[in-house]
Protein backbone atom coordinates (compact mmCIF):
# COMPACT_ATOMS: atom_id res chain seq x y z
CA UNK A 1 0.00 0.00 0.00
CA UNK A 2 3.02 2.28 0.29
CA UNK A 3 5.00 1.00 -2.71
CA UNK A 4 5.11 4.49 -4.18
CA UNK A 5 7.37 5.73 -1.38
CA UNK A 6 9.49 2.62 -0.77
CA UNK A 7 11.93 0.97 -3.15
CA UNK A 8 12.59 -2.12 -1.01
CA UNK A 9 10.25 -4.89 0.06
CA UNK A 10 9.43 -5.14 3.74
CA UNK A 11 11.65 -7.73 5.41
CA UNK A 12 9.96 -11.04 6.10
CA UNK A 13 10.71 -10.76 9.83
CA UNK A 14 9.14 -7.30 9.91
CA UNK A 15 6.05 -8.63 8.13
CA UNK A 16 5.70 -11.26 10.83
CA UNK A 17 6.36 -8.68 13.52
CA UNK A 18 3.90 -6.06 12.28
CA UNK A 19 1.00 -8.21 11.13
CA UNK A 20 -2.20 -8.11 13.14
CA UNK A 21 -4.45 -10.16 10.88
CA UNK A 22 -3.93 -13.14 13.18
CA UNK A 23 -6.19 -11.44 15.73
CA UNK A 24 -7.89 -8.40 14.19
CA UNK A 25 -9.64 -10.53 11.54
CA UNK A 26 -12.42 -10.62 14.13
CA UNK A 27 -13.30 -7.04 13.19
CA UNK A 28 -14.31 -8.04 9.67
CA UNK A 29 -18.06 -7.52 10.11
CA UNK A 30 -17.52 -4.08 11.58
CA UNK A 31 -14.94 -3.18 8.97
CA UNK A 32 -17.36 -4.13 6.19
CA UNK A 33 -20.23 -2.30 7.87
CA UNK A 34 -18.10 0.85 8.15
CA UNK A 35 -16.84 0.54 4.57
CA UNK A 36 -20.36 0.26 3.19
CA UNK A 37 -21.38 3.42 5.06
CA UNK A 38 -18.24 5.18 3.82
CA UNK A 39 -19.01 4.13 0.23
CA UNK A 40 -22.49 5.61 0.52
CA UNK A 41 -21.00 8.87 1.79
CA UNK A 42 -18.63 8.87 -1.20
CA UNK A 43 -21.61 8.37 -3.51
CA UNK A 44 -23.46 11.20 -1.78
CA UNK A 45 -20.41 13.42 -2.38
CA UNK A 46 -20.44 12.32 -6.07
CA UNK A 47 -17.05 10.66 -5.73
CA UNK A 48 -18.57 7.28 -6.59
CA UNK A 49 -21.25 6.54 -9.10
CA UNK A 50 -24.28 4.56 -8.05
CA UNK A 51 -22.99 1.58 -10.02
CA UNK A 52 -19.55 1.76 -8.35
CA UNK A 53 -21.12 1.94 -4.91
CA UNK A 54 -23.26 -1.11 -5.70
CA UNK A 55 -20.20 -3.03 -6.90
CA UNK A 56 -18.42 -2.18 -3.66
CA UNK A 57 -21.34 -3.29 -1.50
CA UNK A 58 -21.83 -6.53 -3.40
CA UNK A 59 -18.11 -7.29 -3.30
CA UNK A 60 -17.91 -6.59 0.44
CA UNK A 61 -20.92 -8.79 1.18
CA UNK A 62 -19.36 -11.60 -0.83
CA UNK A 63 -16.13 -11.26 1.15
CA UNK A 64 -18.13 -11.24 4.39
CA UNK A 65 -19.85 -14.48 3.40
CA UNK A 66 -16.52 -16.11 2.59
CA UNK A 67 -14.98 -15.07 5.91
CA UNK A 68 -17.97 -16.48 7.79
CA UNK A 69 -17.68 -19.69 5.80
CA UNK A 70 -13.95 -19.90 6.55
CA UNK A 71 -12.93 -19.82 2.89
CA UNK A 72 -11.50 -16.31 2.64
CA UNK A 73 -7.70 -16.34 2.08
CA UNK A 74 -6.23 -13.92 4.62
CA UNK A 75 -2.72 -12.79 3.65
CA UNK A 76 -0.31 -11.86 6.48
CA UNK A 77 1.77 -9.68 4.15
CA UNK A 78 -1.22 -7.32 3.95
CA UNK A 79 -0.88 -6.79 7.70
CA UNK A 80 -4.44 -6.35 8.92
CA UNK A 81 -8.10 -6.99 8.31
CA UNK A 82 -8.61 -3.60 6.66
CA UNK A 83 -6.03 -4.10 3.92
CA UNK A 84 -6.96 -7.75 3.40
CA UNK A 85 -10.55 -6.82 2.70
CA UNK A 86 -9.69 -3.77 0.57
CA UNK A 87 -7.12 -5.67 -1.50
CA UNK A 88 -9.50 -8.57 -2.14
CA UNK A 89 -12.26 -6.14 -3.08
CA UNK A 90 -10.03 -4.28 -5.57
CA UNK A 91 -8.83 -7.54 -7.13
CA UNK A 92 -12.45 -8.57 -7.66
CA UNK A 93 -14.15 -5.39 -8.85
CA UNK A 94 -11.25 -3.32 -10.17
CA UNK A 95 -11.04 0.51 -10.08
CA UNK A 96 -14.16 0.97 -7.96
CA UNK A 97 -12.49 -0.92 -5.14
CA UNK A 98 -9.43 1.33 -5.34
CA UNK A 99 -11.68 4.35 -4.74
CA UNK A 100 -13.06 3.07 -1.43
CA UNK A 101 -10.23 4.46 0.69
CA UNK A 102 -10.80 8.02 -0.56
CA UNK A 103 -10.89 10.50 2.38
CA UNK A 104 -10.22 7.70 4.86
CA UNK A 105 -7.18 6.49 6.79
CA UNK A 106 -6.61 3.22 8.53
CA UNK A 107 -6.33 5.41 11.65
CA UNK A 108 -9.95 6.49 11.67
CA UNK A 109 -11.02 3.19 10.10
CA UNK A 110 -9.70 1.07 12.98
CA UNK A 111 -11.02 3.55 15.53
CA UNK A 112 -14.45 3.09 13.98
CA UNK A 113 -14.19 -0.70 13.84
CA UNK A 114 -13.19 -0.94 17.50
CA UNK A 115 -16.07 1.28 18.54
CA UNK A 116 -18.53 -0.78 16.49
CA UNK A 117 -17.13 -3.99 17.99
CA UNK A 118 -17.30 -2.76 21.59
CA UNK A 119 -20.73 -1.23 21.13
CA UNK A 120 -22.00 -4.66 20.08
CA UNK A 121 -20.12 -6.56 22.77
CA UNK A 122 -21.14 -4.38 25.72
CA UNK A 123 -24.75 -5.12 24.80
CA UNK A 124 -24.00 -8.85 24.91
CA UNK A 125 -22.14 -8.53 28.21
CA UNK A 126 -25.00 -6.49 29.63
CA UNK A 127 -27.47 -9.23 28.74
CA UNK A 128 -25.24 -11.87 30.34
CA UNK A 129 -24.98 -9.81 33.53
CA UNK A 130 -28.75 -9.57 33.58
CA UNK A 131 -29.05 -13.34 33.11
CA UNK A 132 -26.78 -13.94 36.10
CA UNK A 133 -28.73 -11.46 38.20
CA UNK A 134 -31.92 -13.36 37.34
CA UNK A 135 -30.56 -16.71 38.50
CA UNK A 136 -29.19 -15.19 41.71
CA UNK A 137 -32.63 -13.75 42.45
CA UNK A 138 -34.28 -17.09 41.62
CA UNK A 139 -31.89 -18.89 43.97
CA UNK A 140 -32.70 -16.37 46.68
CA UNK A 141 -36.43 -16.87 46.14
CA UNK A 142 -36.09 -20.66 46.28
CA UNK A 143 -34.30 -20.44 49.62
CA UNK A 144 -35.94 -17.29 50.91
CA UNK A 145 -36.33 -18.75 54.43
CA UNK A 146 -32.74 -19.98 54.75
CA UNK A 147 -30.76 -18.13 57.44
CA UNK A 148 -26.96 -18.22 57.67
CA UNK A 149 -24.41 -16.39 59.81
CA UNK A 150 -23.26 -13.17 58.21
CA UNK A 151 -19.52 -12.61 58.41
CA UNK A 152 -17.13 -9.73 58.96
CA UNK A 153 -13.39 -10.47 58.96
CA UNK A 154 -14.57 -14.01 58.13
CA UNK A 155 -15.82 -14.27 61.71
CA UNK A 156 -19.46 -14.90 62.53
CA UNK A 157 -21.21 -11.58 63.06
CA UNK A 158 -25.02 -11.50 62.82
CA UNK A 159 -27.70 -13.73 61.32
CA UNK A 160 -28.78 -12.85 57.76
CA UNK A 161 -31.02 -14.50 55.18
CA UNK A 162 -29.06 -16.36 52.52
CA UNK A 163 -31.11 -14.46 49.93
CA UNK A 164 -29.96 -11.14 51.43
CA UNK A 165 -26.38 -12.29 50.90
CA UNK A 166 -27.14 -13.11 47.26
CA UNK A 167 -28.88 -9.79 46.69
CA UNK A 168 -25.69 -8.00 47.74
CA UNK A 169 -24.09 -9.44 44.59
CA UNK A 170 -27.14 -8.56 42.50
CA UNK A 171 -26.58 -4.97 43.60
CA UNK A 172 -22.89 -5.15 42.67
CA UNK A 173 -23.71 -6.56 39.24
CA UNK A 174 -26.28 -3.82 38.69
CA UNK A 175 -23.62 -1.20 39.27
CA UNK A 176 -21.48 -3.05 36.72
CA UNK A 177 -24.35 -3.05 34.22
CA UNK A 178 -24.94 0.66 34.83
CA UNK A 179 -21.24 1.45 34.34
CA UNK A 180 -21.26 -0.57 31.15
CA UNK A 181 -24.17 1.43 29.76
CA UNK A 182 -22.47 4.64 30.78
CA UNK A 183 -19.29 3.54 28.99
CA UNK A 184 -21.40 2.74 25.93
CA UNK A 185 -22.28 6.43 25.62
CA UNK A 186 -18.62 7.25 25.07
CA UNK A 187 -18.12 4.28 22.76
CA UNK A 188 -21.05 5.40 20.64
CA UNK A 189 -19.36 8.37 18.94
CA UNK A 190 -18.35 8.36 15.25
CA UNK A 191 -14.62 8.93 14.54
CA UNK A 192 -14.76 8.21 10.79
CA UNK A 193 -13.94 11.29 8.76
CA UNK A 194 -11.02 12.26 10.99
CA UNK A 195 -8.55 10.83 8.48
CA UNK A 196 -5.01 10.11 9.61
CA UNK A 197 -4.80 13.15 11.88
CA UNK A 198 -6.39 16.24 10.36
CA UNK A 199 -9.39 15.10 8.37
CA UNK A 200 -9.37 15.44 4.59
CA UNK A 201 -9.66 18.17 1.99
CA UNK A 202 -12.38 16.02 0.48
CA UNK A 203 -15.46 16.85 2.58
CA UNK A 204 -17.78 13.97 3.37
CA UNK A 205 -21.05 14.27 5.26
CA UNK A 206 -20.04 12.80 8.62
CA UNK A 207 -23.52 13.26 10.06
CA UNK A 208 -24.88 11.12 7.23
CA UNK A 209 -22.35 8.37 8.01
CA UNK A 210 -23.22 8.60 11.70
CA UNK A 211 -26.88 8.15 10.86
CA UNK A 212 -26.15 5.12 8.69
CA UNK A 213 -24.12 3.48 11.47
CA UNK A 214 -26.39 4.44 14.34
CA UNK A 215 -24.04 6.87 16.08
CA UNK A 216 -25.84 9.70 17.88
CA UNK A 217 -22.72 11.91 18.03
CA UNK A 218 -19.52 12.78 16.15
CA UNK A 219 -16.01 13.28 17.48
CA UNK A 220 -15.02 16.96 17.48
CA UNK A 221 -11.24 16.78 17.28
CA UNK A 222 -9.63 14.74 14.53
CA UNK A 223 -6.38 14.27 16.47
CA UNK A 224 -8.13 12.97 19.57
CA UNK A 225 -10.47 10.80 17.48
CA UNK A 226 -7.72 8.65 15.99
CA UNK A 227 -5.61 8.38 19.15
CA UNK A 228 -8.42 7.93 21.69
CA UNK A 229 -8.79 4.57 23.36
CA UNK A 230 -10.37 5.88 26.56
CA UNK A 231 -13.60 4.16 25.62
CA UNK A 232 -11.80 0.81 25.45
CA UNK A 233 -9.98 1.38 28.75
CA UNK A 234 -13.25 2.36 30.42
CA UNK A 235 -14.94 -0.78 29.12
CA UNK A 236 -12.07 -2.98 30.31
CA UNK A 237 -12.26 -1.33 33.74
CA UNK A 238 -15.93 -2.29 34.00
CA UNK A 239 -15.13 -5.81 32.81
CA UNK A 240 -12.29 -6.12 35.34
CA UNK A 241 -14.49 -4.85 38.18
CA UNK A 242 -17.22 -7.31 37.19
CA UNK A 243 -14.56 -10.02 37.37
CA UNK A 244 -13.55 -8.81 40.84
CA UNK A 245 -17.17 -8.95 42.02
CA UNK A 246 -17.54 -12.50 40.71
CA UNK A 247 -14.22 -13.43 42.30
CA UNK A 248 -15.62 -12.31 45.67
CA UNK A 249 -18.78 -14.34 45.12
CA UNK A 250 -16.59 -17.28 44.13
CA UNK A 251 -14.67 -17.04 47.39
CA UNK A 252 -17.94 -17.08 49.34
CA UNK A 253 -19.24 -20.10 47.46
CA UNK A 254 -15.93 -21.97 47.78
CA UNK A 255 -16.12 -21.50 51.55
CA UNK A 256 -19.85 -22.23 51.79
CA UNK A 257 -19.43 -25.47 49.79
CA UNK A 258 -16.53 -26.69 51.93
CA UNK A 259 -16.89 -29.47 54.50
CA UNK A 260 -16.27 -26.91 57.22
CA UNK A 261 -19.29 -24.80 56.23
CA UNK A 262 -21.58 -27.08 54.17
CA UNK A 263 -24.12 -24.32 53.53
CA UNK A 264 -24.42 -24.99 49.78
CA UNK A 265 -23.95 -27.83 47.32
CA UNK A 266 -22.63 -27.12 43.84
CA UNK A 267 -23.96 -29.61 41.30
CA UNK A 268 -21.77 -32.31 39.77
CA UNK A 269 -22.18 -30.70 36.37
CA UNK A 270 -20.28 -27.62 37.58
CA UNK A 271 -17.65 -29.42 39.67
CA UNK A 272 -14.60 -31.53 38.95
CA UNK A 273 -12.83 -34.36 40.72
CA UNK A 274 -9.29 -35.23 41.65
CA UNK A 275 -6.94 -37.36 39.55
CA UNK A 276 -5.71 -39.00 42.76
CA UNK A 277 -8.31 -38.64 45.53
CA UNK A 278 -11.58 -40.30 44.58
CA UNK A 279 -13.61 -38.58 47.31
CA UNK A 280 -12.90 -35.04 46.06
CA UNK A 281 -15.48 -32.71 44.54
CA UNK A 282 -13.86 -29.43 43.63
CA UNK A 283 -15.57 -26.06 42.91
CA UNK A 284 -13.42 -25.41 39.86
CA UNK A 285 -15.83 -22.96 38.19
CA UNK A 286 -15.51 -20.70 41.22
CA UNK A 287 -11.75 -21.18 41.42
CA UNK A 288 -11.19 -20.46 37.74
CA UNK A 289 -13.42 -17.40 37.96
CA UNK A 290 -11.34 -16.18 40.87
CA UNK A 291 -8.21 -16.79 38.81
CA UNK A 292 -9.56 -15.21 35.63
CA UNK A 293 -10.31 -12.00 37.52
CA UNK A 294 -6.52 -11.54 37.63
CA UNK A 295 -6.41 -12.03 33.87
CA UNK A 296 -9.08 -9.34 33.38
CA UNK A 297 -7.16 -6.92 35.60
CA UNK A 298 -4.08 -7.78 33.52
CA UNK A 299 -5.89 -6.91 30.28
CA UNK A 300 -6.85 -3.53 31.71
CA UNK A 301 -3.29 -2.94 32.90
CA UNK A 302 -1.95 -3.92 29.47
CA UNK A 303 -4.14 -1.37 27.72
CA UNK A 304 -3.39 1.43 30.18
CA UNK A 305 0.34 0.72 29.89
CA UNK A 306 0.14 0.88 26.08
CA UNK A 307 -1.58 4.26 26.32
CA UNK A 308 0.42 5.94 29.04
CA UNK A 309 3.43 7.11 26.99
CA UNK A 310 1.86 7.77 23.60
CA UNK A 311 2.33 11.16 21.95
CA UNK A 312 -0.42 12.54 19.77
CA UNK A 313 -1.98 11.00 17.70
CA UNK A 314 -2.12 7.48 16.28
CA UNK A 315 0.91 5.30 17.00
CA UNK A 316 1.46 1.70 15.96
CA UNK A 317 1.48 0.71 19.65
CA UNK A 318 -2.31 0.90 19.41
CA UNK A 319 -2.30 -2.22 17.27
CA UNK A 320 -1.73 -4.12 20.53
CA UNK A 321 -4.88 -2.73 22.17
CA UNK A 322 -7.05 -5.32 20.46
CA UNK A 323 -5.24 -8.26 22.05
CA UNK A 324 -6.23 -7.04 25.51
CA UNK A 325 -9.72 -5.97 24.44
CA UNK A 326 -10.58 -9.23 22.70
CA UNK A 327 -9.29 -11.33 25.58
CA UNK A 328 -11.18 -9.37 28.23
CA UNK A 329 -14.43 -9.51 26.26
CA UNK A 330 -14.07 -13.23 25.54
CA UNK A 331 -13.27 -14.11 29.13
CA UNK A 332 -16.02 -12.10 30.82
CA UNK A 333 -18.62 -13.53 28.43
CA UNK A 334 -17.44 -17.06 29.18
CA UNK A 335 -17.36 -16.43 32.94
CA UNK A 336 -20.86 -14.94 33.02
CA UNK A 337 -22.34 -17.73 30.90
CA UNK A 338 -20.90 -20.62 32.93
CA UNK A 339 -21.53 -18.87 36.24
CA UNK A 340 -25.24 -18.44 35.54
CA UNK A 341 -25.50 -22.15 34.77
CA UNK A 342 -23.72 -23.06 37.99
CA UNK A 343 -25.81 -20.78 40.22
CA UNK A 344 -29.03 -22.13 38.70
CA UNK A 345 -28.22 -25.58 40.10
CA UNK A 346 -26.95 -24.63 43.57
CA UNK A 347 -28.77 -26.21 46.53
CA UNK A 348 -28.75 -24.96 50.13
CA UNK A 349 -28.34 -27.35 53.07
CA UNK A 350 -31.14 -25.91 55.20
CA UNK A 351 -30.33 -27.97 58.29
CA UNK A 352 -26.67 -26.98 58.28
CA UNK A 353 -27.52 -23.33 57.69
CA UNK A 354 -30.06 -23.37 60.52
CA UNK A 355 -27.60 -24.97 62.91
CA UNK A 356 -24.92 -22.38 62.12
CA UNK A 357 -27.37 -19.49 62.43
CA UNK A 358 -28.42 -20.79 65.86
CA UNK A 359 -25.03 -19.78 67.28
CA UNK A 360 -26.09 -17.65 70.29
CA UNK A 361 -23.12 -15.32 69.87
CA UNK A 362 -24.77 -13.98 66.71
CA UNK A 363 -27.30 -12.17 68.91
CA UNK A 364 -24.76 -10.32 71.06
CA UNK A 365 -25.47 -7.05 69.25
CA UNK A 366 -29.21 -7.57 69.85
CA UNK A 367 -28.46 -7.80 73.57
CA UNK A 368 -26.51 -4.56 73.42
CA UNK A 369 -29.47 -2.94 71.65
CA UNK A 370 -31.74 -4.28 74.42
CA UNK A 371 -29.64 -2.47 77.05
CA UNK A 372 -29.63 0.72 74.97
CA UNK A 373 -33.43 0.61 74.76
CA UNK A 374 -33.48 0.27 78.54
CA UNK A 375 -31.44 3.42 79.05
CA UNK A 376 -27.79 2.34 78.99
CA UNK A 377 -25.41 4.31 76.74
CA UNK A 378 -24.20 2.17 73.83
CA UNK A 379 -20.50 2.17 74.77
CA UNK A 380 -21.37 0.90 78.25
CA UNK A 381 -23.78 -1.64 76.75
CA UNK A 382 -21.00 -2.82 74.40
CA UNK A 383 -18.68 -3.37 77.36
CA UNK A 384 -21.35 -5.20 79.36
CA UNK A 385 -22.11 -7.60 76.52
CA UNK A 386 -18.41 -8.17 75.88
CA UNK A 387 -18.01 -9.32 79.47
CA UNK A 388 -21.17 -11.41 79.20
CA UNK A 389 -19.80 -13.13 76.07
CA UNK A 390 -16.55 -13.96 77.88
CA UNK A 391 -18.55 -15.33 80.81
CA UNK A 392 -20.74 -17.45 78.50
CA UNK A 393 -17.74 -18.85 76.61
CA UNK A 394 -15.87 -19.70 79.81
CA UNK A 395 -18.83 -21.72 81.05
CA UNK A 396 -19.59 -23.20 77.62
CA UNK A 397 -23.24 -22.14 77.89
CA UNK A 398 -25.14 -20.06 75.36
CA UNK A 399 -27.01 -16.92 76.34
CA UNK A 400 -30.33 -18.75 76.43
CA UNK A 401 -28.88 -21.24 78.93
CA UNK A 402 -27.98 -18.53 81.46
CA UNK A 403 -30.26 -17.55 84.34
CA UNK A 404 -31.64 -14.05 84.69
CA UNK A 405 -29.53 -13.63 87.81
CA UNK A 406 -26.42 -14.29 85.74
CA UNK A 407 -27.41 -11.57 83.26
CA UNK A 408 -28.01 -9.19 86.13
CA UNK A 409 -24.48 -9.69 87.42
CA UNK A 410 -23.39 -7.54 84.51
CA UNK A 411 -26.21 -4.97 84.47
CA UNK A 412 -29.33 -4.26 86.46
CA UNK A 413 -30.97 -3.19 83.19
CA UNK A 414 -31.59 -6.82 82.33
CA UNK A 415 -35.11 -8.05 83.02
CA UNK A 416 -37.19 -11.10 82.14
CA UNK A 417 -37.78 -9.68 78.66
CA UNK A 418 -34.15 -10.31 77.76
CA UNK A 419 -34.96 -13.90 76.84
CA UNK A 420 -37.34 -12.69 74.14
CA UNK A 421 -34.36 -11.10 72.42
CA UNK A 422 -32.61 -14.45 72.09
CA UNK A 423 -34.46 -15.54 68.97
CA UNK A 424 -33.11 -15.40 65.42
CA UNK A 425 -36.51 -14.89 63.82
CA UNK A 426 -37.30 -12.05 66.17
CA UNK A 427 -33.88 -10.53 65.46
CA UNK A 428 -34.51 -10.47 61.73
CA UNK A 429 -38.08 -9.22 62.07
CA UNK A 430 -36.73 -6.27 64.05
CA UNK A 431 -34.40 -5.19 61.26
CA UNK A 432 -36.89 -3.07 59.36
CA UNK A 433 -34.77 -0.10 58.28
CA UNK A 434 -34.38 0.42 54.53
CA UNK A 435 -31.75 -2.01 53.28
CA UNK A 436 -31.93 -4.23 56.35
CA UNK A 437 -32.92 -7.91 56.03
CA UNK A 438 -36.30 -8.19 57.72
CA UNK A 439 -38.53 -10.84 56.08
CA UNK A 440 -40.85 -8.14 54.71
CA UNK A 441 -37.95 -6.12 53.33
CA UNK A 442 -36.39 -9.23 51.80
CA UNK A 443 -39.62 -10.30 50.13
CA UNK A 444 -40.12 -6.80 48.76
CA UNK A 445 -36.54 -6.66 47.42
CA UNK A 446 -36.86 -10.04 45.73
CA UNK A 447 -40.14 -8.97 44.12
CA UNK A 448 -38.69 -5.66 42.95
CA UNK A 449 -35.67 -7.37 41.42
CA UNK A 450 -37.86 -10.00 39.73
CA UNK A 451 -39.98 -7.26 38.17
CA UNK A 452 -36.98 -5.18 37.23
CA UNK A 453 -35.02 -7.98 35.61
CA UNK A 454 -37.97 -9.54 33.80
CA UNK A 455 -39.40 -6.23 32.64
Catalytic residues: 153, 274
In three-state secondary structure terms, 155 is: strand
Q: Where are the beta strands (DSSP E) in 117-204?
A: 147-152, 155-161, 189-190
> Which residues 6+ apart lie within 8 Å of 1 measured at CB?
83
Q: DSSP secondary structure string, 78-108?
A: G-SHHHHHHHHHHHHHTHHHHTTTTT--HHH
- Give dist(CA 122, CA 222) in Å, integer: 25
- Please report which helix (H) or strand (E) contains residue 348, including its range: strand 347-348
For the four alpha carbons of 297, 299, 300 and 305, in that order, the dihedral sign comes to positive
DSSP single-letter state for residue 282: B
The candidate with the shortest Cα–Cα distance to 138, out of 435, 455, 453, is: 453
395 exposure class (CB count in 10 Å sphere: 0-12, 13-18, 19+)? exposed
Is residue 293 within 8 Å of 331, Cβ to Cβ?
A: no
> Which residues 6+ apart lie within 8 Å of 214 measured at CB?
188
- The full length of the chain comes to 455
Amino acid sequence: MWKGRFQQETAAAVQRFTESISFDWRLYRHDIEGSIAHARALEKAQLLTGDERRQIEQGLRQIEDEIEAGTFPFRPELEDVHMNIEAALTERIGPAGAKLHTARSRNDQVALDLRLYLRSEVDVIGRLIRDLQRVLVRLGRRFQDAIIPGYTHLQRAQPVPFAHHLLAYVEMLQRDADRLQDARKRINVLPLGSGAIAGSTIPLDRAYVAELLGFPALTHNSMDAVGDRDFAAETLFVVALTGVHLSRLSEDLILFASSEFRFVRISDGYSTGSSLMPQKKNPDVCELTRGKSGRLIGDLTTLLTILKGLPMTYNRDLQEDKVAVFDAVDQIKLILEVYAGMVEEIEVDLDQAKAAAADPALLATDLADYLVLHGLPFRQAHEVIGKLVAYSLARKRGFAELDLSEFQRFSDKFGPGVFGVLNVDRSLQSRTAAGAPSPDNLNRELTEWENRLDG
